[in-house]
Every structure is written in C-alpha cells, then in structure tokens.
Amino acid sequence: MTNVDKEKLRGVGKVLGEAILMAKGMVKPGVKLITVADAAEKFLRDKNYGIAFPMNISVNEQAAHYTPCLDDDKVFTNADLVKIDFGAEKDGFLGDCAVTIDLSGKYGGLVSAANEALAKAISVVKAGVTVNEIGKAIAESIESKGYSPIKNLGGHGINEHELHAEPFIPNYDNGDETELEEGMVIALEPFATTGKGFVADSDIREIFSYVGEGTTRSADSRLLLKEISTKYTTEPFAARWLSNKINSRFRLYAAMGELMRAGAITPHSTLVEVSNGMVSQAEAQLIVEKEGCEILAKV
C-alpha cells in the first residue's frame, strides 16, 4: 500500500474487531448462521463503515468462503467448529481478521494450534524478513501440536480496494524469499487441520466479485447486473444482498448463474479440506515496521 493512512486503518481495525467480537458472542447452538452474519454486517453499516467482504461463517471441514444464502435455515450445533472471518472498509482502506469458536469442546487443541501459530508469526514479522521464514514459523508451530498447516491457503498483502495483494504469505516454507518491506500492510492467516492440509473448491457459491458488463438475456439477470455494477464493483458481495431486487431464491440464483456464464461476475467457492479434516483459523492484520510490526486488527 503506497499511501498508508495509519489512523484510518486503525479505525477500520477497531470497528472490525468490535463486529467480530459481537458475532463471536452470538455463535451458540440453535442460532441461525444468517442471524449472525446479518447482525455483524449491519453493525458495520450502522457505524458508517463499508464491508470488505461478506461475513464468512465456515463450519467444520469448511476452511473459508461460506456465507449464508438467501433464506438460509442452517443453525449452529454443539458439534461445530466455527470460523468467523470478516472485513471492514473505509474510503478504500480494508481490514481483515478471523477467529475460531469451538462449540463442541473437542477441538481446543486445534484452535490453540492456529492461535499459537499466529502469535509466532507476528513475533517474526519485521522489514527484511522473508515470507518463507514466516511460513516456516507457522508450520513448525502447528506441526509441533500434531496438526497440519493448510498449504494452499495463507496470508497476503492488502492494498486500497485490494484485499488479496502481493506478497502471498505461506503457511509453510515454500522457498519464497520475497522480503517484507517497511510500511507494508499484511494479513497473517494460519489454518490448522486434522486432515491432509489442502483445500479444494466445493460446489457452494455464495460470494461473488464483479468482473464487468456481460451479455444477458433475462430481465432478472439485467436487473441484478445493474444493481451489482452500481453498488459492488470494488469489493466482493453476497448473493443474499441482492434480495432487495429479487426475493425469490429460485429466481435469484438462476439469474446469478446466468451472470456467471456471461462472465459478468466470478464466484468465490466455499473451500473445503480435501480429506474432510476439521479446520481452525486465526488471522490478524499488521503494518510492517523496521523492527517489528503494529497490529491493526486481531481478536
């Protein structure tokens, strides 16, 4: 990020942390996932902040990118391992942070593995450190607890209106000797799993990004494209956010499918651990400093 507005980033991080803590307190057996997502997203809007991406509520073997669908009736259970990943926005400056909640009481070790790996990674960060050094610290920490890091997910740089920018920060030593630079805004994002340590796309698609105008045939798809191109050209959006235009689940997703085929939007599929291993996540956002870092967002 070339023009770092630290005060604005600190404000984004503070409000984002408040939203995630509120959501975390709502995650209880019997509560609907959509109730939590709607409340947290409303919280940011009421504070006059934008949403950097729809609230991710990924459960058990899901690692990322699940957000409730329109009229979602899923509820949390007392067997769930829940990842809350959320982002806030102000004038193009983005915040990104995540936390894991174990409703089962069975996965405390897995949750701690991600949290401790995050703490270890933070302790390593400073200008001149290579991204594979950070990845090595994350992997060693997770593996010492008997779990596997997810190798095809990781942290990332953050720029204005660009949540996933260079550099990619791996969760293991991938040999990449790209150095962190003073003033970089980054997110560290360890994922720990009981499984093989890789994720793959599922067929669940609820989060999308605008690509550009496409040739569409139905009135519904044209209606949605006008709304998307007006409101959601910079950050990802949820299909359910478009229910103000089409509140029929069947019609909404039929129109979304047409927009995907036309190349007007692209999906961010829910990512699932390939061996259905349980997944925990921890994430913090930082500014790289000469001899350390400043934490902007962490729960």
pLDDT at residue 135 in the model: 98
Rounded to whole angstroms, how far apart are CA atoms 71 and 88?
A: 24
Could you say which of 61, 116, 189, 206 is catalytic? Answer: 189
* Mean pLDDT score of the chain: 97
Residues 197 and 207 in one domain: no
Could you say which of 41, 133, 273, 283 is catalytic? Answer: 283
Q: Return the axis-axis angle of helices 33-46 and 6-26, rounded to nearest 10°.
A: 150
Could you say which of 156, 206, 235, 258 is catalytic? Answer: 156
- Residue 10, domain member (yes or no): yes
Q: How many domains does the chain have?
A: 2
pLDDT tops 60 at residue 1: no
- Residue 248, domain member (yes or no): yes
Residues 70 and 110 in one domain: yes
- Residue 287, domain member (yes or no): yes
Q: Does the annotation count 85 as an active-site position?
A: yes
Residues 214 and 263 in one domain: yes
CATH of the domain at 253: 1.10.10.10
- Residue 49, domain member (yes or no): yes
Rounded to whole angstroms, how far apart are CA atoms 280 and 295?
A: 21
Residues 84 and 221 in one domain: no
pLDDT tens per residue, range 202-235: 999 999 999 998 888 899 999 999 999 999 999 9
Return the number of other C-beta atoms located less than 10 Å from residue 161's C-beta: 15
Rounded to whole angstroms, how far apart are CA atoms 270 and 274?
A: 12
pLDDT tops 80 at residue 167: yes
- Residue 1, domain member (yes or no): no
pLDDT at residue 3 in the model: 64
Could you say which of 85, 89, 258, 273 is catalytic? Answer: 85
Q: Does the annotation count 268 as an active-site position?
A: no
Residues 63 and 103 in one domain: yes
**pTM assigned to the model:** 0.95
Could you say which of 41, 72, 80, 96 is catalytic? Answer: 96
Q: Does the annotation count 166 as an active-site position?
A: no
Collapse the DSSP code of 24 into the 3-class scheme (helix H, G, I; strand E, B; otherwise coil) and give the result: helix
Residues 211 and 106 in one domain: no
Domain that holds residue 184: 6-201+274-297
pLDDT at residue 214 in the model: 83
- Residue 88, domain member (yes or no): yes
Pairing of strands 237-238, 199-210: antiparallel
Q: Does the annotation count 164 as an active-site position?
A: yes
